[in-house]
Structure 1
Amino acid sequence: MKITIVAGARPNFMKIAPIIKAIEQAQHRGKKLTYRLVHTGQHYDKKMSESFFEELNIPAPEVNLEAGGGSQAEQTAAIMVRFEKELLENRPDVVVVVGDVTSTMACSITAKKLGVEVAHVEGGIRSGDMSMPEEINRIVTDSITDHFFTTSQTANENLLRSGVQPDRIHFVGNTMIDTLLSNIGRLKDPEISVRGVKLQERAYFTLTLHRPANVDEQSKLRDMMHAIIEGTGQYPIIFPVHPRTARHLEELSIMDERLHFVEPLSYLQFNYLVKYSKGVITDSGGITEETTIMGVPCLTLRDNTERPETITIGTNELIGTNPSHLKPYLDKLLKGDWKKGGVPPLWDGKASERIVAKLIELYN
């Protein structure tokens, strides 16, 4: 069996690392399968790409399509043109795509048009928000996917409602959690100091913002930042700034002695920061999964989520994008009244083993 694995952007790298490891373990057991790793180049900044390959021991990709930059349409077109050439020269039995970035959708379409089957890792998740590019990517990808590897019962139900046959849905767990659990003992202290004093455990907040609903409109971003500063008491706020957000913050000149902007961190450094936070304030979906596993309170500044299990089972709460809604949740956290949370089913570090076992069953 020949597998092509596609990775394009930062969220993909955490998801492919354990799959590659599980494939290599199967090879050592004598299973007849090979893989070819294709990096589309959607993220090309070192901190957003190369450092993840180094830290997570991901082998160098066989090819980098170097399709970064440009508008969404330009990037999609570049990925499709270059991935088509790749598949014509190195035709696999199945293309494995992960997550919901532009590369996921573009490579799925390209593969299907060439008659190559597609397996979607993290298939079936939905936010219901069509203003999110990721939601469009998910829907398009899942409409042509052959086999779905899902993270939750909710994802299974979403697929069944859309008409997917049950024998194409494989509930395996969460590969991002595989990566987190296998690296939890390797996390690296980013050694951030505040006024010359090293950060203390549970004595700071971690903040991330990047979604257009929060950062593109200056008045909303200003009001949200003020609400965060006001609601976090006397605790420092550590903000690894996404390049998209940095541009807007510079224009607003938002400053406070407790607010500390830092460069984007590597995977091991960022999760160290998260693990020892008093709480995390974010608009990222993936971070809500990691905080759930680490038992860290998480406040999500979005009006919807494609990962409801982080709320119903985990440590996450959906706050919304209205800044006035934030303070009551922060008050609850500061009083020590935050829910304990639990771990969703099959988030046990073995999702990738299940994926590879099913691929062998399907394609060998």
Structure 2
Amino acid sequence: MNNPNRVIFVDSTVSHKELLEYTTSRDLLLPGIRRGDLIRAVGLHPNLKSIVIIDGVFEEQASITHKEILWALAKGLEVVGLASLGALRAYELMRFGMKGYGKIFRQYEEGDLDGDDEVSIVYFPGLQNSTKTIPMINIRATLRRLSIEENNELITSIRSIHFRKRTWLEISKKVSKVIHESLMKNYIDLKREDVISFFKSSPEHREVTDTSNIELNLFFIKNIVKKRYPTITSFLDYCLSIMPRAPKITTKKSLEEYAQNIINYLDLPIGYVDDIAKILSELIGFTFNSERIKKASRMIRKEQKLTRQSDLLNFISRKKIPINSLQGIYEGIVKLEAYFLSQAYVIKSL
């Protein structure tokens, strides 16, 4: 294939042999995508107009990065993701122009799925009919067919099996014999169904997501934050350092004191007082449930090596922070984090 106009990265979900029925001489079938493959394909095939990502590697091998996909989109190429890693990447990058297709992508988009383990499997590339582990998304689809998809205990039990070990044998240890036999007998390969549906449908009839007016994807942004900023303090420090300096406005003295307490607690530059006070004034009336505040406080204390109560008390005594202001400080930190995530400040450094 010297002049393909579409490249398709797929292997474990559907074999190349199966797809020959639905592809043309202008399609190039390649194995699951890994880091560098997209850029290499564009360089080798200058007539490419479309890239379809279905399968891809991760963990032991370097997976395709968001930057590579953003690079292809910036060059004007169509990038579509579906069924597996492609569906997850399409969800993460839909705000930036990547298109998503299929039921699995829709479930990510609607918040029904929240992890890559839903579509992940172990398989052996290049071996026909090789043994594969069972993706959780297919289990969910099968349970839905059996009208027992609402059994959260059952789903939790099966999902607790690491995707690398989620074989039928391991599943049989987590469910009753009746359920196990029903799952195997009625098994739905939703990943495969999405792929076949995509290639069977004509381009004009495909329900590919229009990404022109989708709100910024917080799942994607949070993943970047986790990788780039090891602590909440470092993330807030970065965002405060690049945000436009607003003209000084009059805020309540209580808000300035609130901001000073947060700065004192996190050891942030005192110059951020006005900016933090301004943000907090914009967020008056916004509240978070107590569980989120507790979770955040535990994480912040862990970052600061203050998990022991005695260490925390010594810390706030040294900082002259009133103990009755701690709850407010943690809530303020959560508000600041939520504010900067929603504003997508981290994207400015991509």
Task: Give the TM bin, normalised by the shorter chain.
Answer: under 0.3
Which structure's residues are more often strand, by fraction? 1
- Identify which of structures 1 and 2 has the higher relative contact order when contacts are C-alpha pairs closer than 8 Å and 6+ apart: 1
TM-score by length of 1: 0.26
The structure having more radius of gyration, on CA atoms, is 2
Higher helix share: 2
Query: When the two structures are superposed, what TM-score results if normalisation uses the length of structure 2?
Result: 0.27
